[in-house]
Each structure stands twice: as C-alpha cells, then as structure tokens.
Amino acid sequence: MIKLVVFYEKPFCAANAKQKQILRASGCTLIERNLLEHGLEKDDLRMFMGESAVSEWFNPAAPAIKNGEISPERLDEESAMELLMGNPILIRRPLMVIGSEKLCGFDADKVSEVLERYVEPMPKINCMEKGCLE
C-alpha cells in the first residue's frame, strides 16, 4: 500500500521542490503535473479551493499580485476563477489530489491529516494519456 499524491506544480519552483521532498520522505508516491498547463475545467479547478476565501486561491508571490495589478481580496468568486483560468501563474500552489480530496496550497498539518486517511494501492496508469510523462 502506498500514499499516492497527484501534485500540480510550477516547474522549477524551489518551494514546490521542497514540498515534494517532504511528501516523498513521508512515503508518498507523486504523480507530478505542470500547473501552468493543467488542462482543468473551471469547475474542476474550483473544487481545489474548497471553502477557503477567494483571496486564499491566489499565489501571493505572483508578479501581478505583488505589484498590485490584482487585489484578490476585492474579487468575487466568478471574477477570481476567470483570472485563475486565464493566468495559471496566479493559482496558489501546489494543487494536490490525495484520495478523493483536493487541496490548494501546502498546509503541512492539513496535508498530514489527509494523508492519514488515504493509503491506497497504486493505480494502473495509462502513460499514453496527456500529461502522464510531464
């Protein structure tokens, strides 16, 4: 039995590299996906955000956030989703799928709690699917 995590990241992100290292050290097997080319539909992306505030959906280090072009705390849900879909660099990362749960951002306590609930056998993966070898 293994702990399987689908991990949507920004390639070459140092923070994501550290997070993946933590997950692997805790016995997780990762399926890595490029967040900038995620291919998610709006409703699918929305499921990662859960009940968190709209402002929590955004990566505070994204250039448009840092320089004040976008103020996430002023956005409604629909406007926020349009921005995230159009510019994935704005999405707080990583996005993770653990079992049937979807998480946005790396809250170590929350990740640990979710991992404790899901220890699953390795699924069969069709590596001809888009993104499998990314």
CA distance 95 to 8: 5
- What class has domain 3-117? alpha beta
* Cβ–Cβ under 8 Å, residues 28 and 5: yes
pLDDT tens, position by position, 96-121: 999 999 999 999 999 999 998 876 55
pLDDT digits (tens, 9 = 90+) for 59-101: 999 999 999 999 999 999 999 999 999 999 999 999 999 999 9
Residue 70 to residue 54: CA distance in whole angstroms = 13
pLDDT value of residue 117 = 84
Please report, rounded to a whole number, the percentage of residues in the chain having pLDDT higher than 70: 87
Does 13 qualify as catalytic in the annotation? yes
Burial of 94 (C-beta count, 10 Å sphere; 0-12/13-18/19+): buried
pTM score? 0.84
Q: Which of 13, 28, 104, 127 is catalytic?
A: 13
